[in-house]
Amino acid sequence: MSSTPDPRQQAVDLAGETMAELIGFWGFKGSMGRIWTLLYLSRRPMSADEIGDRTGLSSGAVSMAVSEMLQWGIVERAPLPPDRRKHYQAETDVWELVRRIVRDRELRLVARAVQRFEAAVAVLEEALVDSPGDPEILFMLERLHGLLALTRTGYSLVESFASVGWFSLDPIRGALSRLLPSAARRV
């Protein structure tokens, strides 16, 4: 008698590992990708015990991942009366998930970069007061202004994507052409 693996579980495992790799690229834990995929492909909400059984993750790993996923809005609680255990279901609007993560994480990162480049420019502009016309400071300022312009453009692109779900690369081409004329042609 052959023990053929359940094709549904094979599909969940394959898709889960794929999602784990994808979200790992974004800096999230692979277990979150496996759990989300399992819940996304499930017709009904699942308890933490069921999630652990189906993914092979420990109860601690499931608990930590689900807690983080709840914070990001990747999963939500879904009560199944009369069962008193907590059950979870996946957020199914994938595009909204991506937009939310971009808005909550990447936008913050790019905003911080803008602030820090502005601070670097301010330091050099202050140094010009004591050393007017210093060629190295002027060179560095020119480069930093280019980085600042590119970062501000990036912020606008990320902000646009986070609010409407799309963006054009045209503004970044313009910023790149001012920063690195040959690089803009490759974008």
How would you write the pLDDT of the chain (187 residues) with one tens digit per residue?
Answer: 557 778 999 999 999 999 999 988 888 899 999 999 999 999 999 999 999 999 999 999 999 999 999 998 999 999 888 888 999 999 998 888 888 888 888 888 889 999 999 999 999 999 999 999 999 999 999 999 999 999 998 888 888 877 776 555 555 555 556 555 544 444 4
Question: Is 100 in the same domain as 179?
Answer: yes
Q: Are 75 and 33 spatial neighbours (Cβ–Cβ below 8 Å)?
A: no
Question: Is 55 in the same domain as 109?
Answer: no
Query: Is residue 1 domain-resident?
Result: no
Domain that holds residue 26: 7-92
How many Å apart are CA 103 and CA 41, to the nearest integer? 26
Query: Is residue 74 domain-resident?
Result: yes
Query: Is residue 2 domain-resident?
Result: no
Q: pTM of whole model > 0.85?
A: no
Question: Is 43 in the same domain as 115?
Answer: no
Q: Are 56 and 20 spatial neighbours (Cβ–Cβ below 8 Å)?
A: no
How many Å apart are CA 38 and CA 16, to the nearest integer? 7
Q: Which residue, of 48, 71, 92, is where some domain finishes?
A: 92
**Measured in Å, how far apart are the chain's first and last C-alpha atoms?**
57
Residues in CB range of 44: below 8 A, 6 or more apart: 80, 89
Q: Where are the beta strands (DSSP E) in the chain?
A: 46-47, 75-77, 87-90
